[in-house]
A and B are shown apart, each in its own frame.
Chain A
């Protein structure tokens, strides 16, 4: 059997969020992305900072190797057990009682909502990186061919899972050089989740299902098996399918020897692999809630970032009611999340799904529609690729210029971005030096949060 912590990618949205929130519930911040002891932070920051000066090829190699090192060998994929994964996930959290818990889509804004309420969130989706050889990043068909059998074996051993084999030759270029992305979603509730919830939620509590409605073009491989063409970020669905000038330029810059990708023909769409919610799970959740006397709330939203302004405004409102200025904004990116420091520094959290132009535009739009902030801090995830639609440092500077007093990058080496792995360590380090901090508040009352959330247009609230 493969140990769950070996099977699941540690540098993924779901696990990054799980670590940030579970540490928060144990009154801890997130140094070293929650991956290594806090005392190593200064050394690691220095080493990674020096590594940022390496030649580009060496840095790209480092990204690729770090991904490969995390991945499971192809032959061991059938040994992965979904029940073990669920036990590992739920084992992160202290047992309740909690007045409310979340189970569903991964979402950075949701993590801040859960932190404000001091409640856990169980992910529906996990990423299982799988090693494979001899397939270039721009060959999606080859990728599917090489790993399909392993995927089928994984599903045969785990009837409660849906497999979203995801291939993003744009943003994951370096990571998928030696591995592939298997994203699995639970369609049936695993025992470990059930047990955790039953031990942690008293009768009368609320189980909230965050459901991201994002869908994406796929090729159906089998009954519970889809192959996803690209992913949410800088390139559009059309660009993955049919190419275009931006794709051709990108492929020529990376010497791919082709003008567009050749994905197998899409024959439909499905919930997006990383963020989308697979609704089949609802039946089990409804049954469980009814049996335990919990209220089940469905919290539906269209795209991941639709929750970001909602949670940001919820925080701002909450700060003001507590007599704090609420004049600091912490813009976070992908798995760079700091719920503990957001609250200690009195910062309004605004989460971006990734570092692409679309996220930058949405963040700007949020700033357009709210009272100006005195301070804006930006943590940027670096994925190592000059990908299609990447927002450049100039774009981010424009965002920071919206601050009335202090608009600063936090942990970003602007000369190294987007090949700035030191940023992953420095973001926490710099954020934790912030002055003028506030005591950790008592949890936000769930009724107040529910009242606020149910009135927002971005969310379809039922239950």
Chain B
């Protein structure tokens, strides 16, 4: 399935979007802090075999337009909601990766009806580990397990966004209290954790699932934090199975 590259507007800003249009219902991917859709494209291709798969660059990141001041979690969620409405995507499944989970959860809680289901892959930030030093330590410990081929993509993303926005997104990630919002998510949610993820502990992934009224946890063994990059096919299979049950 070829990947379409589109530009849409959300809250008056140009948003870069990729799409792989399969037959099933829509799945929209939201990337992590400081990065962009680049790392998600292999997954979008796989997901597009069975579903209408999308990925967008959040405003300020990748190829999207950069607002003057970096957006907060709430601002990013509102932008995604606006883009969903403008694209006439009704109640899609929203898949967040890492910090993208925080955006997806915020959207689901504050824009009821905008998302029909969520997939949270490696949800950040552990409520018990909310310190910059800890986060950096976890990131370093995890990075040795990630694919080395992902590194140039990360560098390109960081250059696109610029250091101020990258740091701002990490700050936004740290300040956001996802645990307070999870109990208010009413749609079905699949939580995915890479079994070797050092940024998202097993205990935290379980706690996230427990707090969600309709959560379910899947642990993908041996994988690091960036599950969509390391095993796009495996993740697409899990998402498809989840959506089959959820819808």
Residues of B within 8 A of A433 (CB): 201-203
Known: A405-B209, A406-B210. A434 touches B217 (CB 8 A): no
Please pick, from A374, A430, A435, the residue contacting B207 in the complex, using a CB distance under 8 A.
Answer: A435
Residues in B with CB closer than 8 Å to A404 are: 216
Query: Are B203 and A408 interface neighbours, CB within 8 A?
Result: no
Contact A405 B203 (CB under 8 A): no
A405 near B221 with CB under 8 A, answer: no
Q: Which of B66-111 contact A (CB under 8 A)?
A: none
Quick one: which of A223-250 are within 8 Å of B by CB? none
B221 cross-chain contacts in A, Cβ below 8 A: 414-415
What mask results when residues 204 to 222 of chain B are scored 1 for a CB within 8 Å of chain A, else 0?
A: 1011011010011101011
A408, B219: Cβ atoms closer than 8 Å: yes
| Minimum Cβ distance to chain B for residue A363 (Å) | 20
| Other-chain contact of A405, B201, B202, B204, B210 (Cβ < 8 Å) | B210
Cβ-defined contact, A406 with B201, below 8 A: no
Is A375 in contact with chain B by the CB < 8 A criterion? yes
The reply to whether A406 and B209 contact each other, CB–CB distance below 8 Å, is: yes
User: What's the Cα separation between A434 and B210 when bound, in Å?
Assistant: 11
Identify which of A375, A404, A406, A414 gathers the most chain B CB atoms within 10 Å of its CB: A406
In residues 160-195 of chain B, which contact A (Cβ within 8 Å)?
Answer: none
Q: Does A436 make an interface contact (CB < 8 A)?
A: yes
Given the contacts A405-B216, A414-B221, A434 and B209 also touching, CB distance less than 8 Å: no
Complex contacts, A405 vs chain B, CB 8 Å: 209-210, 212, 215-217
In the assembled complex, how far is the CB of residue A444 from the closest CB belonging to chain B, in whole angstroms? 26
- Interface magnitude class on chain B: 10 to 19
Q: With a CB–CB cut-off of 8 A, which chain B residues contact A436? A: 207, 210
Point out the residues of chain A lying under 8 angstroms from B212, CB to CB: 405
> Distance in Å from the Cβ of A30 to the closest Cβ of chain B?
19
A407 to B217, CA, bound (A): 7
Q: Which residues of A contact B222 (CB under 8 A)?
A: 415
Contact A435 B206 (CB under 8 A): yes
Q: CA of A407 to CA of B203 in the docked complex: distance in angstroms?
A: 13
Residues of chain B within 8 A (CB-CB) of A434 are 203, 206
Is there an interface contact between A406 and B203, defined as CB atoms closer than 8 Å? no
Complex-state Cα separation, A164 to B209, whole angstroms: 49
Which A-chain residue is minimally distant from B189 (CB atoms)?
Answer: A405
Complex contact A375–B216 (CB within 8 A)? no
Residues in B whose Cβ lies below 8 Å from that of A415: 221-222
Give chain B nearest CB distance to A407 CB in angstroms.
8
Q: For B217, give its contact among A406, A414, A430, A435 (CB under 8 Å).
A: A406
Chain B residues whose C-beta falls within 8 Å of the C-beta of A374 in the assembled complex = 210
Q: How far is the CB of B195 from chain A (nearest CB, A)?
A: 9
Contacts of B202 in A (CB 8 A): 408, 430, 433
Whether A408 lies near B206 (C-beta < 8 A) is: yes
- Give the nearest-CB partner of B206 in chain A: A406
Q: Which residue in chain A gives the minimum CB-CB distance to B221? A: A414
Indicate with 1 or 0, residue by residue over A412-436, a CB within 8 angstroms of chain B CB atoms: 0011000000000000001001111
- Of the candidates B203, B210, B219, the one whose C-beta lies within 8 Å of that of A375 is B210
In the complex, per-residue mask of B42-81: 1 if CB is within 8 Å of any chain A CB, else 0: 0000000000000000000000000000000000000000
Task: Output the least CB separation between A374 and chain B (Å).
Answer: 7
> Interface code A371-412, partner B: CB below 8 Å = 1, 0 otherwise?
000110000000000000000000000000000111110000
Q: Looking at the assembled complex, report how far the CB atom of A95 sits from the nearest CB atom of chain B, in whole angstroms.
A: 38
Residues of B within 8 A of A406 (CB): 206, 209-210, 216-217
Residues of A within 8 A of B217 (CB): 405-408
Chain A positions within 8 Å of B210 at CB level: 374-375, 405-406, 435-436
Contacts of A375 in B (CB 8 A): 206, 210
With the chains together, A404 CA to B219 CA distance in Å?
14
Nearest chain A residue, comparing its CB with the CB of B193: A408
A400 to B: closest C-beta gap in Å:
10
Distance, CA A191 to CA B129, complexed state (A): 54
Q: Give the complex CA separation of A434 and B209 in angstroms.
A: 13
0/1 interface trace, chain A 156-182, chain B, CB 8 Å (1 if under): 000000000000000000000000000
The closest CB in chain A to the CB of B215 belongs to A405
A131 to B210, CA, bound (A): 50
CA distance A46 to B27 in the complex (A): 39
User: Could you list 6 A-B pairs, sorted by A, with CB under 8 Å?
Assistant: A405-B212, A405-B216, A406-B210, A408-B202, A415-B222, A436-B207
Interface residues of B (CB under 8 A from A): 201-204, 206-207, 209-210, 212, 215-217, 219, 221-222
Give me 6 other A-B pairs in contact (C-beta within 8 A), A405-B215, A408-B202, A435-B204 excluded: A405-B212, A405-B216, A406-B210, A406-B216, A408-B217, A435-B203
Q: Report the 4 A-B pairs with minimum CB-CB distance, sorted nearest first.
A: A433-B203, A406-B217, A435-B207, A406-B206
